[in-house]
């Protein structure tokens, strides 16, 4: 029994940020893929990353240079400065895939530490630590990955100062198809591609679409949602880095998707679909396109995840 109280295994979900027209303001969590961490309290003070699996050796074990480590250190500094924790990280999420890989690791650690240490932090604290970790990982404290990964759901970040998050109602039949072409894109670099100013007329079209998209979610109006999935700002700039992006988009639409765009800063492409069958059909069609072009890829189908991180049975993990 003592061992259980000293260790915890947590899964935190992948997230789609920059959801079409909602660049920097819309984000949602999916059921899979995701990252898992095993956290174990230890006598020695501080944060220790014991091992990272599934990253191909890309991530640092130095807790200052790893989003999971940064998140854990912020947490301990604020709430348990005498505590020590060991982290074992299982990357289910490809790095640089635009699926919120750094955010999911941070979310899993923050959720797990808070459980292990008897809930000293509230939700706001966790979000704050999560944003700090994102700043280290991506160069900007954007929250459209770490917030849905920590809280689940489909969120609007209406304001950063003060931080204000709104959870949209999730239309019952909304599913997401993800396809990742095994290409790593650094968020930091992808952000630098964007212009610092945009034409007012472009901005007006974009905010008409975010309003339409929001109304579509709130009223389960799938057609309005579909028509509003137009991104005039980030997608046109970033599409060139994703193999066969416009063909993929066209394929998704023909297979019945409500719309598709780049997840985060790519290279994953997401499609929103009405119903699991359509999501499957869209996934098959996009997969065929990549197969025929000999592009290696991974794909997933998922509803919108509304719970955020969850505890995983440690014993099943150790088997």
Active site residues: 134, 187
- Helix axes of 101-116 and 123-138: crossing angle, nearest 10 degrees: 140
Three-class DSSP category at 245: helix
Distances (CA, A) of 233 to 19, 34, 244: 12, 28, 19
User: For a copy of itself, which is the closer residue by CB, 58 or 158?
Assistant: 158
Going by C-alpha positions, the residue among 49, 90, 88, 41 that lies closest to residue 66 is 49
Q: Which of 2, 192, 195, 316 binds a copy of itself (CB under 8 A)?
A: 195
Please list, in sequence order, all residues whose beta carbon lies within 8 angstroms of the beta carbon of residue 58, skipping any fewer than 6 positions away. 95
Stretch of 15-23, 178-186, 257-265, 299-307 lying at the interface with a copy of itself (CB under 8 A)? 15-23
HSE, side-chain direction, 13 A CA sphere, residue 217: 23
Q: Which of 6, 24, 117, 303 binds a copy of itself (CB under 8 A)?
A: 24
Q: Which contiguous run of DSSP H or E holds residue 47?
A: strand 46-53
Asked whether position 205 contacts a copy of itself by CB under 8 A, the answer is yes
Distances (CA, A) of 139 to 12, 99, 103: 22, 16, 13
Q: Which of 166, 240, 288, 293 binds a copy of itself (CB under 8 A)?
A: 166
Stretch of 219-227, 254-262, 269-277, 293-301 lying at the interface with a copy of itself (CB under 8 A)? 219-227
Residues that contact a copy of itself, how many (by CB under 8 A): 41
HSE, side-chain direction, 13 A CA sphere, residue 296: 3
Asked whether position 193 contacts a copy of itself by CB under 8 A, the answer is no
Asked whether position 246 contacts a copy of itself by CB under 8 A, the answer is no
Least CB distance to a copy of itself at residue 151 (A): 16
Q: Which of 5, 51, 78, 211 binds a copy of itself (CB under 8 A)?
A: 211
Do β-strands 46-53 and 84-90 pair in parallel, antiparallel, or remain unpaired? parallel
Please list, in sequence order, all residues whose beta carbon lies within 8 angstroms of the beta carbon of residue 57, skipping any fewer than 6 positions away. none
Asked whether position 16 contacts a copy of itself by CB under 8 A, the answer is no
Q: Which of 5, 51, 198, 293 binds a copy of itself (CB under 8 A)?
A: 198
Asked whether position 182 contacts a copy of itself by CB under 8 A, the answer is no
Q: Which of 212, 259, 308, 309 binds a copy of itself (CB under 8 A)?
A: 212
Q: Where along the sequence are the contacts to a copy of itself (CB under 8 A)?
A: 21-26, 156-159, 164, 166, 168-169, 194-200, 203-215, 217-219, 224, 227-228, 233
């Amino acid at each position: 029994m003592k061992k259980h109280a000293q260790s915890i295994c947590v899964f935190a979900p992948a997230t789609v940020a920059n959801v079409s027209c909602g660049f920097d303001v819309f984000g949602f969590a999916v059921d899979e893929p995701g990252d898992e961490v095993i956290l174990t309290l230890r006598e020695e003070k501080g944060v220790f990353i014991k091992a990272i699996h599934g990253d191909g050796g890309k991530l640092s074990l130095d807790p200052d240079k790893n989003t999971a480590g940064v998140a854990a250190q912020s947490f301990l500094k604020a709430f348990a400065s005498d505590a020590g924790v060991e982290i074992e990280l299982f990357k289910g999420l490809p790095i640089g895939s635009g699926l919120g890989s750094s955010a999911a690791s941070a979310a899993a650690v923050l959720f797990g530490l808070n459980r292990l240490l008897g809930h000293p932090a509230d939700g706001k604290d966790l979000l704050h630590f999560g944003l700090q970790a994102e700043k280290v990982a991506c160069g900007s404290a954007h929250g459209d990955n770490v917030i849905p990964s920590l809280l689940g759901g489909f969120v609007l970040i209406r304001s950063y100062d003060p931080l204000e998050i709104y959870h949209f109602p999730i239309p019952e039949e909304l599913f997401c198809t993800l396809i990742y072409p095994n290409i790593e894109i650094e968020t930091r670099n992808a952000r630098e591609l964007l212009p610092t100013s945009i034409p007012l007329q472009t901005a007006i079209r974009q905010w008409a679409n975010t309003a339409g998209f929001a109304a579509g979610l709130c009223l389960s109006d799938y057609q309005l949602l579909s028509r509003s999935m137009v991104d005039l700002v980030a997608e046109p700039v970033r599409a060139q880095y994703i193999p066969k992006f416009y063909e993929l988009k066209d394929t998704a639409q023909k297979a019945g998707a409500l719309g598709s765009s780049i997840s985060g800063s790519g290279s994953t492409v997401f499609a929103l679909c009405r119903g699991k069958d359509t999501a499957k059909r869209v996934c098959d069609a996009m997969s065929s396109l990549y197969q025929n072009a000999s592009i290696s890829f991974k794909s997933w189908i998922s509803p919108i995840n509304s719970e955020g991180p969850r505890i995983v049975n440690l014993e099943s993990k150790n088997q």
